[in-house]
Amino acid sequence: MKKNSLFNREHDYSLRITAFLASLDKDEIINVSSISKKLHLSKIFTARIIHKLRVANIVGSVQGKYGGFYLKANSEEISIWDVLNAMGYKVRLNDCMDENFFCDLMFGCQFHTFFIGLEQNIFEQLKQQKISDYIFRFTK
């Protein structure tokens, strides 16, 4: 049976990639092939994800031959929430929390109120976790 998820593969991988980049030395850059091998991801999927992270300014890139990527921000200042948002993270625990959702029962629906609170609670927990506490280190 399908299970409801809050995070998909892209979200997961983006966290791994960020946590790995956080382990690099200052001024060190790494290319997509190396990242994908280390993290056991396909090269092309890795490229798509890291590109989004770059657009969101989480990572920086150097183009051309011998180019690559590096973590732009300080890992102590980036949260799981920040990375997820870079990937275009959108959550609504329930469809009824959607902006354009109309529900005849909405007025006074305590479920709706409960879901809003639960969602806020989850978001807070994601914001509290900094990437610096999740750094992946590999023996070189």
Closest CA to 8 of 128, 90, 71, 127: 90
User: 61 forms bridges with which residues in the sheet?
Assistant: 69
Please report which helix (H) or strand (E) contains residue 48, including its range. Answer: helix 43-55
**Contacting a copy of itself (CB under 8 A), which of 100, 110, 139, 140?**
110
Nearer residue to a copy of itself within complex by CB, 61 or 135: 135
Least distance (Å) from DNA to the CB of residue 130? 24
Contact between 121 and a copy of itself per CB under 8 A: yes
Among the listed ranges 14-22, 27-35, 96-104, 111-119, the one in contact with DNA (CB under 7 A) is 27-35
For residue 29, what are the β-bridge partners? none
Determine contact, residues 91/119, Cβ cutoff 8 Å.
yes
Kindly tell me which of 70 and 115 has the beta carbon lying closer to a copy of itself.
Answer: 115
Distance in Å from the first CA to the final CA of the chain:
40
Chain-centroid distance of CA 40 in Å reads 17
Q: Identity (one letter) of the amino acid at 110? A: Q
Chain residues binding a copy of itself by CB under 8 A are 1-9, 11-12, 15-16, 19, 39-40, 80, 88-96, 98, 104-105, 109-111, 114-115, 118, 121-122, 125, 129, 133-134, 136
Chain residues binding DNA by CB under 7 A are 2, 4-5, 8-10, 13, 30-33, 42, 44-45, 47-48, 50-51, 54-55, 61-69, 95
